[in-house]
Amino acid sequence: MNRLLSNIFRRSLGYLPFLLCFILLIHTDSFMSFSLWNGFIQILLFLFVVCIPAYFTKRMSYVDIAWPWGLVLISFLVLINGKGYWLRTYCVAGMYFFSGLRMGIGALILFKKGHLNSELSRYQFQRKRWQKLEYKNEDISLQYEILIQCFANTTFLALPAIIQVYNPQENISLLEISGYIMWVLFFIMEHIADFQKQKFLEKCFLEKKKKQVCNVGLWKYCRHPNYFSEWMIWNALILSSLPSLFYLLPYEKLLLWIGLLISLIYISRLMYTTLVYYTGAIPSEYYSLKKRPDYKKYQETTNMFFPGKSKKHSI
């Protein structure tokens, strides 16, 4: 009984940041309507694309389809509900649209090729966590993990769009321009990293070389340049949102405004934790070490997340 209560308490705490952020959003004068609509749409998307399929198949890999398409839906909500300066509205809508579209199309291609017919390794790794924490009901664990991502799309990941889309100032500040440029650069970098790895794998397949470690191009400088780029994309969104947030300062209660500032900054922590520990680098490397004999040496010579020079000669 103590273990059960402990597990319930631990999982309740996992939902708490998203609940607090949602309460914050619906109590602001400007954001309530957008937040309610986004919450409704995200729940419907995850229900039919992830929750129901996961219940029958016992696989949560469908999250990889729903969460990026959830970003695309946010971009449409921005265009429909945007009440701020048109140029800023189109910029932030474009950032969400192309981020979601790139990953969403990739997920659909994987689905069509049958790669989602078995659980992706990062979600297999989750089961090891459940076992360690003594979570014994797989159905509850699956739905809990799925809803974490759904609530992220509803709250923190929508926050930069919500903040920017209600700013009516008809000028784009240098800070916003810096954020937009940074977003473009790291969006391109993420695409290049994925392209380089795909080409490396194709070359290994043609040369009949199995279990090779990708250490070409951007992969020379860190073991997960795609994850690092994704993290920086969200930092760029945070940066570009700051001028709009400061515009709101005279119009919102100070306590609510401080909550929005904390929530905006928290996005960086949330994405870093996700991309390194939750479904990113750590789960990926757990299986890479098992499958690729040279991966241990790659770990010793190359930074995991933040790019830098090799510590030794490349493998």
Per DSSP, 48 falls in state I
Contact residues for 101 (Cβ-Cβ < 8 A; gap 6+): 68, 72
Measured at the CA of 32, the angle between CA 93 and CA 77, to 5 degrees, comes to 25
* Predicted local confidence at residue 315, as pLDDT: 46
pLDDT at 202 exceeding the cut of 50: yes
The mean pLDDT of the chain is: 92
pLDDT band at 286 (very low <50, low <70, confident <90, very high): very high
Of the candidate ranges 3-7, 147-151, 222-226, the one whose mean pLDDT is the lowest: 3-7
CA-to-CA distance for 263 and 15, rounded, in angstroms?
14
The predicted pLDDT at position 164 comes to: 95
**What predicted TM-score, i.e. pTM, was given to this entire model?**
0.93
Q: Are 221 and 307 in contact (CB under 8 A)?
A: yes
What are 79-107's pLDDT values in tens digits? 998 888 999 999 999 999 999 999 999 99
In the structure encoding, which two tokens stand for residue 16, read together? 């708490």
Residue 1 pLDDT: 61
**CA-based nearest residue to 50, from 135, 102, 119, 109:** 119
The pLDDT of residue 136: 85
Nearest-CA neighbor of 50 among 145, 146, 121, 114? 146
- Given a cut of 80, whether residue 311 has pLDDT beyond it is no
Rounded to the nearest 10°, the torsion over CA 167, 169, 174, 176 is 20
How much is the average pLDDT of 252-263? Answer: 93
- Residue 314's pLDDT is what? 45
Domain boundaries, the chain: 2-301
pLDDT-above-70 percentage for the chain: 98
Rounded CA separation 243/245 (Å):
5
pLDDT surpassing 90 at residue 133:
no
Query: Is the pLDDT reported for residue 218 higher than 90?
Result: yes
Sequence-distant (6+) residues with CB within 8 A of 209 are none
236: pLDDT strictly greater than 70: yes
The mean pLDDT value for 153-181 works out to 95
Residue predicted with more confidence, 33 or 30: 33
